[in-house]
Structure 1
Amino acid sequence: MEKINELTSENIVQQNIERLKEIFPTAFSEGKLVVEELQALVGEYIQKDKEFYQMTWAGKTEAQREANKISTGTLRPSKVESKNWDSTGNIFIEGDNLEVLKLLQKSYSNKIKMIYIDPPYNTGKDFVYKDNYKDNLNNYLELTGQTDVHGRKFSTNTDSDGRYHSNWMNMIYPRLKLARNLLKDDGVIFISLDDIEIANLRKICDEIFGEENFINNIIWEKKYTVANDAKYFSDNHDHILMYVKSKEKFEIGRLQRSEEMNSAYRNPDNHPKGVWKATPLQAKSGSDSKFQHTFPNGVNWSPPQGRFSAYSSNTLNELYNKNEIWFGADGKSTPAKKTFLTELKNTGVVPRTILTFKEAGHNHESKDEIKKLFNSGTFDTPKPTKLIKLLQTIANIGDNSIILDFFAGSSTTADAVMQLNSENGGSNRFMMVQIPELTNENSEAYSEGYKNICEIGKERIRRAGELILTGIKDKKEIDKLDIGFRVFKLDSSNIQAWDTSVDKFEGQLDIFAENNGDHIKANRTEEDVLFEILLKYGLELTLPIEERSVRESKIYNIGFGSMYICLSDIIKTDVATAIGEWHRESSEANPSVIFKDSGFANDADKTNTVQTLRQAGIENVKSI
């Protein structure tokens, strides 16, 4: 039986090395990467001159290293704060998103279809998490008051700081680097921001996602009123940067036609195809710059100078014979093609680079949504659900996709996902990540009992889900809609780590003895360890989990037989027998079985357990 010595997040550096070895085996000598050889293989010369185009800032190297570090943390389940735990596919994670993104690397790599984030805008008043790269997990536990009795406060990033922009860039860089790994090949990321850091963000995203995968800088009209007290301009828009993982594999979603768009279509000649709109016959490009055509009614036409005909002469005659060319009311005007609405209804409309408040909502609307749910303004800067729903359509979200927001705030994204599912019958899932930033003691949220932003986000999902259900009349649709979520909280590993320094070694032995040789921390539950194992093995956190008991031992069946786990303190061969019988009910060919090593009274029990599982056709047996 193989022993699992440690549970850590994905080792991204080692993963990258293995990929390079597969593609460029000659770039390695005695296991070491030869950079010059790699550059030669991709046809590049070594850059001798230090003066070349690059984006850099104070702390960038450390931020790059941080994105590649592994995490020794875990995500502990909180059933009491969850909703519909056993049936939901949605997740809310409370913790520093940098560490959480590291922990999600194994389980959700290449699985996220869409990411939307609304990070701090760096106005000088926003909270900006200043990472302590030396020990980021402990830094988080201290900041949230979990290990520091003084409960240190989160800080802001003021423009008087000598590294004002660098601090923000060091915060966002490793998070985006890790986020890219989670995107599917046809995945897309949207990032909301204002003018302060948009130029820096664009360069960072060009580096991480590739300039070639930039789609657009979308302008969202966030206000419908004019601020007449503005010194220069009324600030009426935000930016939404849109990048994809691969332009070659991404297909943009088209938007629904509005009644206003359809109103431009008429039928003055009572054409049997219905209403139509006249569209030009010319195009921007072509091959014949001297094209001319005479229609059967004697009208001569040639495209304007610098333009080309969009159709051949044969096609123009065919359109004429079908009465699909319009020559104006007098029958002699410049010809145009009749484009029928019936031909466009199923194609949708290409998104525009400007999203108006009428189609995407505005700030007042988003605050009204919060007031409707909470009867007060519990959150100051939410985004409207209409905006996030529109972005989901643009992202071309398919059914059963995962939408991630790791600056979740009040959980607008979760609300929008549930709303859109209720409207189109979809079954898309959300994953929210939010650090428990404390609410202001003078705020409405604090007075109503919400001590941190996570509490607001979780409660919004609960209330929004119930509100959505009230608008559904079909019971089948009600039963289908997922308005639940599993709550997890970032914490240190459940496994007791050994500290072999001389001054602490004796204390470590005492702890180990008190726990009867058990490496699992005394204050952690079986379910805590269970989900750490899922993260270790790259299994999703919402997989179905069944339980069966054999005497005093509980057995967990993960994902309909893909893994069996027993973390009991007393493990006998009857546990293995029960797992073998359970395995016969499954179609899984090669399941894993994991035991707690200290649960075996002796080596004989361990050996007999392994042999019993082998007789049932299970070979992959490990222990922690």
Structure 2
Amino acid sequence: MPTLNWIGKEKVVNHHRDVPFKVLEHQYGFTAGKGESPESTNSGNMIIHGDNLEALKALLPKYEGKVNCIYIDPPYNTGNEGWVYNDNVNDPKILKWLGDVVGKEGEDLSRHDKWLCMMYPRIKLLHQLLAKDGAIFISIDDNEQGHLRLLCDEIFGGGNFLGNICWQKKQSPQNDAINFSDMHDFVLVYAKRTKQNRVDLNGFNRNLIPKSEKQLSRYKNPDNDPRGPWVSNDCTSNKTRNERPNLYYPITNPNSNIEIFPPETTVWRYDMITFNKLLKEDRIYFGKDGKSFPRLKLFLSDVADGVVPTTLWLRDFAGDNQLGRRVFRNIFKDIESDFSTPKPPLLISRILQIASTKNSIILDSFAGSGTTAQAVLELNKKDGGNRKYILVEMEDYANDITAERVKRVINGYGEGNKAVEGTGGAFDYYQLGLPLFIGENKEFLNENVGVDKIKEYIWYSETRSSFEKTTNGHEFHLGDKNQTAYYFYYEIDKITTLDLDFLSGITAKAEQYIIYADNCLINKDFLASHNIVFKKIPRDISRF
């Protein structure tokens, strides 16, 4: 398999492990009809303001392996710095990050090198967050599409490439284009794990796209068949008489008693026994006059509820930039904004139709104006779903545009004949907060983050699962998993010591006990004989 190399790659391939773990600080909750509140809505919907690399790391304790569908619209690296997305890797924030991570070598990077250095650790963390049966959809254009494909092949595996969707982003060409008028973008699609066979239940399982009104309109019922609407289909196959001699035979039209043969260059699609069975079941149609060439009746009730998605998405199917702008301006008539090409909600809706169920978790870590949340909310309202969305936006407009858009979609927006009813719902808004570890070598716990945040981290580092407070009565008991009981004996204002007095308070029965404390006064032989593992705070806390 071809590999992609660039200046600085060796510095970033494992950088996702070195990203500091920061806690998420709740700012407010928002609920339909009630507005903002300092309390959490517990809705599961999140909008996070902060660097998306650090935010993705912060999501791991609760969401690793649980996100069903990821959509991102990262910078396309077009070189255009004059708009709100700052679609260029010369963004000061990116340059500072490159200086910190890549170092002096970063001064010699081309813009493609910089873009790949920026994207690689983010895709690595997104891969960790994606569920085994999940898929990621990435919007991109020709500037980096080829590089992105090779990068994703490396991280996801080439066998997990599902498709490269060509999306018509413009209604008409630009006649002032220098060479070609750019009419499309791409959406690269990768699975965490594709199905290798029907027994593999953890592979990506895509949904069918619902039939459009145009597709449904093809089904008619000219003969008032009690089985409902149908379309006629060709009864012949493109095989020849020599290739399939058993499928070349005469059919007697029951209305005219005339024998009908297929054309010399074709044969019937079915053998004689099957054809007579279909004829008896009134599934063969001979036209309005009953004397035409036979055709098969395909009933709407017999076909699948949808159609297989294709890799060509025209604007009437998935919207275009013009629709995206129109929706955005209808939401933000009272706000001046430079968003020139926000994605249309219909594009994201098509992705959700393919790659989500009614209870999926959807993540967008380049949230922009919040289109993904709007698409989730609208689809939930349409089909009664309970999909959850997580948005991450690093720019300063995260609250004033991203979150504000979601609020207006929830409560309703627009005026007159452009008024759109609210979807209802709720979300919680977070800021990326303090790092969990501090010090020159990150050797100390940052007590300012709060004990609950530290407990969440310890539990995740041990079990790779999300933390829930225990109710067994022991103050320092974190929980039990896989026959192991976990204790985090930690107090901010004093040194804790694992001794026999502490052990006497443990009543949980387990095959193994993992206990964190500042010190231990019990000898190793006693610990081993009782299946107790002592871990010193903070030295033995795993970093991930």
Q: What is the TM-score normalised by the length of structure 1?
A: 0.67
d(CA) in 2 for partners of 1:578 and 1:173? 41
Give how far 1:114 is off.
0.7
1:611 aligns with 2:504: yes
Shift in CA distance, 198/608, structure 1 to aligned 2, threshold 3 Å: same
Out of 75, 94, 100, the residue aligned to residue 23 of structure 2 is 75
Residues 313 and 491 of structure 1: is their aligned pair in 2 closer, same or farther, counting only changes over 3 Å? farther
Aligned counterparts, 1:15-164, within 5 A? 53-67=2-16, 69-80=17-28, 85-125=40-80, 126-128=87-89, 129-130=94-95, 132=97, 135-136=100-101, 163-164=110-111
Q: Distance in 1 between matches of 2:239 and 2:130?
A: 36
Shift of 1:403: 0.9
Q: Tell me how far apart the structure 2 counterparts of residues 54 and 138 of structure 1 sit (CA, whole Å).
A: 24
Residue 79 of structure 1: SS of its match in structure 2? strand
1:174–1:524 Cα change, 3 Å: closer
Residues 136, 81 of structure 1: alpha-carbon distance in 2 compared, 3 angstrom cutoff: farther
Contact 2:49 2:392 in 1 (8 A): yes
Counterpart CA distance in 2 for 1:601 and 1:579 is 14
Shift in Å, 1:348: 1.2
Match of 1:295 among 247, 251, 270: 251
The CA deviation at 1:489 is 0.5
Task: State the alpha-carbon separation in 1 of the partners of residues 229 and 108 from structure 2.
Answer: 62
1: distance between equivalents of 2:19 and 2:492?
25
1:354 aligns to what?
Answer: 312
User: For the residues of structure 2 that align with 1:308 and 1:104, how far apart are their CA atoms?
Assistant: 59
The answer to whether the 8 A contact 1:191-1:241 is kept is: yes
Cα pair 2:463 2:481 within 8 Å, conserved: no
The residue that corresponds to 1:3 in the other structure is none
> Is the 2:162–2:191 contact (alpha carbons within 8 Å) kept by the matching residues of 1?
yes
* Gap change, CA 1:559 and 1:201, over 3 Å in 2: same
Matched, 1:497 2:406: no
Query: Is residue 462 of structure 1 aligned with residue 422 of structure 2?
Result: no
Partner of 1:254: 208
Q: How far apart are the structure 2 equivalents of 1:202 and 1:185?
A: 20
- 1:222 to partner: Cα distance: 1.9
Query: Once structures 1 and 2 are overlaid, which stretch shifts more, 426-435 or 481-490?
Result: 481-490
Structure 2 stretches lacking a partner, 5+ long: 31-35, 81-86, 196-202, 414-418, 518-536, 538-544
1:119-162 CA-to-partner distances (Å, cap 9, x unmatched) read 111110213234746745999xxxxxxxxxxxxxxxxx9xx986
In 1, Cα distance between equivalents of 2:300 and 2:6:
53
- Out of 267, 274, 282, the position equivalent to 1:315 is 274
Would you say 1:373 and 2:331 are equivalent positions? yes
- Structure 1 CA distance, aligned partners of 2:156 and 2:331? 37
SS at the partner of 1:337?
Answer: strand
SS at the partner of 1:239? strand
Question: Equivalent residue for 2:188?
Answer: 241
For residues 269-288 of structure 1, what are the structure 2 equivalents within 5 Å? 269-282=223-236
TM superposition shift of 1:230? 2.6
Q: Name 1:487's counterpart in structure 2.
A: 430
1:402-446 CA-to-partner distances (Å, cap 9, x unmatched) read 11111111221122112211221111111222223xxxxxxxxxx
**Cα offset, 1:466, TM superposition:** 2.4
Paired-residue identity, %: 31
From 124, 130, 145, the equivalent of 1:177 is 124
| 2:365 maps to which of 389, 399, 406 | 406
Matching residue's letter, 1:388: I
Task: Kindly state the Cα deviation for residue 283 of structure 1 after the two structures are TM-superposed.
Answer: 5.1
**Aligned-pair CA distance for 1:535:** 5.2
Post-superposition shift, 1:337? 0.8
Could you tell me which residue of structure 1 aligns to residue 285 of structure 2? Answer: 326
For 1:182-237, what per-residue CA distance to the aligned partner results, in whole angstroms no more than 9, with x for missing partners? 22222111111112221222222233323332222212222224433333443332
Pick closer, same or farther for the CA change 1:91–1:136 going to 2, 3 Å: farther
CA distance in 2 between counterparts of 1:425 and 1:122 reads 38
User: Structure 2 CA distance, aligned partners of 1:380 and 1:206?
Assistant: 31
Q: Name stretches of at least 5 consecutive residues in structure 1 with no aligned partner.
A: 1-51, 140-156, 437-450, 501-507, 509-518, 544-557, 565-575
Query: In structure 2, what residue type is equivalent to 1:374?
Result: F
Q: Is the 8 Å Cα contact of residues 41 and 426 (structure 2) preserved in structure 1?
A: no
**Within 1, Cα distance between the matches of 2:63 and 2:327?**
31
Per-residue deviation, residues 165-189 of structure 1 (Å, max 9, x unmatched): 2222222233223322322222111
TM-score after normalising by structure 2 = 0.75
Question: Is the alpha carbon distance of 1:302 and 1:64 closer, same or farther for their aligned partners in structure 2, counting shifts above 3 Å?
Answer: farther
Higher strand share: 2
1:218 aligned onto 2:165: yes
Alpha-carbon deviations, 1:29-53, whole Å to 9, x = none?
xxxxxxxxxxxxxxxxxxxxxxx94
Considering only aligned residues, what root-mean-square deviation do their CA atoms show, in Å?
3.9
1:509-588 equivalence runs, <5 A: 520-521=445-446, 523-526=448-451, 528-529=453-454, 531-533=456-458, 536-537=461-462, 559=468, 561=470
Aligned partner letter, 2:302: E
Whether 2:362 is the aligned partner of 1:393: answer: no
SS at match of 2:123: helix
Q: 1:301 to 1:382 in 2, by over 3 A?
A: same
Indicate how the Cα distance of structure 1 residues 176 and 292 shifts in structure 2: closer, same or farther if over 3 A, else same.
same
Q: Give the structure 2 partner of residue 622 of structure 1.
A: 516
Q: CA–CA distance in 1 between the matches of 2:325 and 2:502?
A: 59
- Looking at structure 2, the residues matched to 608 and 616 of structure 1 have their Cα atoms a distance apart, in angstroms, of 15
Q: In 1, Cα distance between the equivalents of 2:508 and 2:103?
A: 44
Asked if 2 retains the 8 angstrom alpha-carbon contact of 1:214 and 1:244, the reply is: yes
Partners of 2:207 and 2:178 lie apart in 1 by 39
Query: Does the CA contact (< 8 Å) of 2:98 and 2:114 recur in 1?
Result: no
Q: For 2:272, give the aligned amino acid.
A: S
2:299 to 320, 340, 350: 340
Q: How many residue pairs were aligned? A: 478
* Aligned residue runs from structure 1 range 395-434, under 5 A: 395=355, 397-434=356-393
Q: CA deviation at 1:362?
A: 2.1
Q: 2-side partners of 1:482 and 1:363: how far apart? A: 27
Listed one character per residue, the Cα deviations across residues 95-114 of structure 1 (whole Å, up to 9, x for unaligned) are 32233334444543321111
CA contact (8 A) 1:217 1:241 kept: yes
Contact 2:28 2:429 in 1 (8 A): no
Deviation at 1:590, TM superposition (A): 6.2
Q: Which amino acid aligns with 2:115?
A: W
What SS does the aligned partner of 2:205 have?
A: coil
Q: Which amino acid aligns with 1:497?
A: G
The 3-state SS of whatever aligns with 2:13 is helix
Shift of the 496–453 alpha-carbon distance from structure 1 to 2, 3 Å rule, reads closer
Contact 2:61-2:457 at 8 Å conserved across structures: no
Per-residue CA deviation, residues 487-533 of structure 1 (Å, 9 max, x unaligned), is 1405432x443659xxxxxxx9xxxxxxxxxx554654445545544
